[in-house]
Amino acid sequence: MTYDVLIVGAGPCGLAAGIEATKAGLSHLILDMGSITESIREYPRRMRFFSTAENIEIGGLPFPISGVKAGRDEALQYYRKAAAYFKLNIRLFQKVDTVQKHNDAFTVLTTTGEQYHAHKVIMATGYFTRPRWLDIPGENRPHVSHYYDEPFKYSFTKVIIIGASNSAVEAALELYRHDVDITIVHRGEDFRSTVKYWLIPDVKNRVKEGKIKTVFDSVVTQIDEKTVTVNNLKTGDETQLPADFVFVLTGYIPDADLLRRCGIELNPETQVPYYDKETFETNVPGLYVCGTVLAGIYTEKVFIENGREHAEAIIDHIVGRELHKVAELIQRI
């Protein structure tokens, strides 16, 4: 079978694309390397979204919650129910290796040898599956993780957090409140300016009280079994800090290698793919990018809130809906 649209990625933006395809009467298939909304499933278990619930809705389906901002579990249930409500055609735990174009159609190949065919392909792979590695000795040790899950495992231990963005600050505050000895190491002179505004007073007061320790203007150069080696960027001094566990929370980036294998051109510095700003079509005709995957290294600029809007524009372009709108305007004149 050759689908009208094949969507790579079953996150919120990929699901939104599937919903818009369904509304437009297009046959579709959504593939994902993990579970549905795998990135949200890997969020910290007690995480709450920055955006209000209505701003992360998809397909016009209401997201009713008791509060203002949804938590991880509420979001997982909402997106699962949205996929079921619109009867989306999804195949999970199938990792896409490449997308090849032949004449006016595409062949999508998975790492396990499956082949799927489609007239159009939408890449909605996000970025959360690829952490920013520091490439330092010991980074792959079993007590080191690029993902923070929940605090209870780490109570009464010493934890080093590398990074000072939202994820690092949220993890530090939660761990501190579960009797964890926390030290934050960051190359900058202060916390990132993009940290949620309500977290800054909390974390800075905890630092002032000495309950969360910070080592700014510094980088970790090595991780050993019970210590991390830290180098001060201003003085060049090297120190060792005790650590039972280490979280490298320095952010995530899209899978640039996958995009290149599909023929998509990327800016060599920013890793932003080439795409039309109105239609989201890449340099490969019929191949689109949707959601956070198009942000390159600037992942803080695209969220579910604005990434979900790409889906409607893409499907509009695929079915020629904008041409129909122009025709209607001409007739009115």
Residue 246 in this model has a pLDDT that exceeds 50: yes
Regarding whether 166 and 188 lie in a shared domain, the answer is yes
Regarding whether 207 and 243 lie in a shared domain, the answer is yes
What domain range is 214 assigned to?
144-248
* Structural domain count of the chain: 2
Q: Please provide the average confidence, as pLDDT, over all residues in the chain.
A: 91
187 within a domain of the structure (yes/no): yes
- Least confident interval from 191-200, 232-241, 268-277: 191-200
Dihedral sign (CA 311, 66, 147, 173): positive
Regarding whether 179 and 221 lie in a shared domain, the answer is yes
Regarding whether 215 and 117 lie in a shared domain, the answer is no
Regarding whether 50 and 151 lie in a shared domain, the answer is no
Regarding whether 61 and 49 lie in a shared domain, the answer is yes
Regarding whether 328 and 304 lie in a shared domain, the answer is yes
pTM of the predicted protein model: 0.86
The span from the CA of 121 to the CA of 242, in Å, is: 49
Of all residues in the chain, what percent carry a pLDDT higher than 90? 73
Regarding whether 201 and 156 lie in a shared domain, the answer is yes
Find the mean pLDDT for residues 131-157: 94
165 within a domain of the structure (yes/no): yes
Neighbouring-strand partners of residue 116? 108
Regarding whether 207 and 220 lie in a shared domain, the answer is yes
Regarding whether 269 and 205 lie in a shared domain, the answer is no
136 within a domain of the structure (yes/no): no
What is the radius of gyration, based on Cα positions, of the chain? Answer: 22
User: Band of the pLDDT at 301, cuts 50, 70, 90?
Assistant: confident
Task: Give the residue with greater pLDDT, 251 vs 96.
Answer: 96
The span from the CA of 127 to the CA of 144, in Å, is: 20
Of 232, 248, 264, the last residue of a domain is 248
pLDDT of residue 55: 85
Structure tokens at 73: 């579990």
Find the mean pLDDT for residues 261-274: 93
26 within a domain of the structure (yes/no): yes
In contact, 78 and 16? CB cutoff 8 Å:
no
Of all residues in the chain, what percent carry a pLDDT higher than 70? 96
135 within a domain of the structure (yes/no): no
139 within a domain of the structure (yes/no): no
Of 106, 86, 83, the residue nearest 35 (C-alpha):
83
Of 248, 271, 292, the last residue of a domain is 248
Regarding whether 155 and 240 lie in a shared domain, the answer is yes
The span from the CA of 19 to the CA of 58, in Å, is: 8
Of 248, 274, 290, the last residue of a domain is 248
CATH number, domain with residue 218: 3.50.50.60
Of 311, 308, 236, 246, the residue nearest 57 (C-alpha):
308
User: Band of the pLDDT at 203, cuts 50, 70, 90?
Assistant: very high
- Least confident interval from 116-125, 170-179, 215-224, 246-255: 246-255
User: Band of the pLDDT at 304, cuts 50, 70, 90?
Assistant: confident
